[in-house]
Amino acid sequence: MSLQVKVLISAEEIARRVQELGQQISQDYQGQDLMIIGILKGAVVFLSDLIRHITVPLELDFMAISSYGEATETSGVVQLLKDLDRPIEGQHVLIVEDIIDSGLTLSYLYQLLQSRNPASLKTAVLLDKPERRRTVFIPDYIGFSIPDKFVIGYGLDYNHKHRELPYVGVLEH
């Protein structure tokens, strides 16, 4: 099977927007320490670039969740595969995720982490697919709103491949 990928968001557009998000987050958390929670594995590339543009003191932790398995559609069932290494009580927390589509995963994570009593809890996503939303959840920081297409690249995968692409593309069979 030959894969065709159509570029949806170029590497240059991503770099510009990630820098803007980093500046906005830095302004919003001025004078505060920040705990950033990256959601494995898809958010790693976005997270790595984003933290280089954040100028407030920060700590990193990671969570791994699954709602897709090897499918291109969410199963609607969220599984927690890796929890945080440290408590977040009393801390300013920012969840960094690659994409929000149905909203089920991010909504689940938000409720789970809110129950751990952080001082504040916000979310940042690189990509937002509002047409797919099945919950009322709006991230605090959004890189790009995109149409209802299955996307790969810049950390997002299809069947564990294509995360290394420097752009976000639409997979066409």
Q: CA dist 172 to 151, 152, 160, Å?
A: 9, 10, 16
- What gap in Å lies between CA 14 and CA 109, rounded to an integer? 25
73 band by pLDDT with thresholds 50, 70 and 90: low
Domain count, the chain: 1
pLDDT recorded at residue 91 = 98
Backbone angles phi, psi at 100, to 5 degrees: -120, 125
Amino acid at position 74, single letter: T
75 band by pLDDT with thresholds 50, 70 and 90: low
Domain housing 46 = 4-172
What does pTM read for this prediction?
A: 0.92
Q: If you average pLDDT over residues 85-97, what whole number do you get?
A: 97
Catalytic residue among 49, 98, 101, 128: 101
Q: What is the token pair recorded at 12? A: 């240059």
Backbone angles phi, psi at 81, to 5 degrees: -95, -30
Q: 11-28 vs 44-51: helix axis angle to the nearest 10?
A: 60
**pLDDT tens-digit readout, 138-156:** 999 999 999 999 999 999 9
Cβ partners under 8 Å of residue 4, min gap 6: 171, 172, 173
> Residue 103: which CATH number?
3.40.50.2020
The β-bridge relationship of strands 34-40 and 92-100 is parallel
pLDDT recorded at residue 69 = 53
Q: Is residue 85 annotated as part of the catalytic site, yes or no?
A: no
74 band by pLDDT with thresholds 50, 70 and 90: low
Checking if the pLDDT of 71 tops 90, the result is no
Tell me the average pLDDT of the chain.
92
pLDDT recorded at residue 156 = 94
pLDDT recorded at residue 138 = 93
- What gap in Å lies between CA 126 and CA 82, rounded to an integer? 21
Q: If you average pLDDT over residues 114-125, what whole number do you get?
A: 98
pLDDT recorded at residue 93 = 98
- What gap in Å lies between CA 55 and CA 26, rounded to an integer? 6
